[in-house]
Amino acid sequence: MDIILTTCAIIVTLAFVALVVQAILTLQQLRHTAKAVEYLALNADGKLTALDPLITGVKSVTEAVSSGWFTAAKAVYGLFTRG
Average model confidence (pLDDT) for the chain? Answer: 85
Alpha-carbon distances of 68 from 55, 60, 63, 77, 79, rounded to whole Å: 22, 14, 10, 14, 17
Q: Amino acid identity, residue 66?
A: S
* pTM of the model as a whole: 0.50
Mean pLDDT of 41-66: 78
Buried b (16+ CB within 10 A) or exposed e, 54-65: eeeeeeeeeeee
Q: What is the pLDDT of residue 52?
A: 78
Query: How many domains is the chain built from?
Result: 1
- State percent of the chain over pLDDT 70: 90
How many H helices and E strands in the chain? 3, 0
Query: Across residues 13-34, what is the average pLDDT?
Result: 97
pLDDT for res 82: 67
Q: Which structural domain, as residue segments, surrounds residue 78?
A: 2-82
Angle of helix 52-65 relative to helix 68-82, nearest 10 degrees, comes to 50
What pLDDT is stored for residue 43 in this prediction? 81
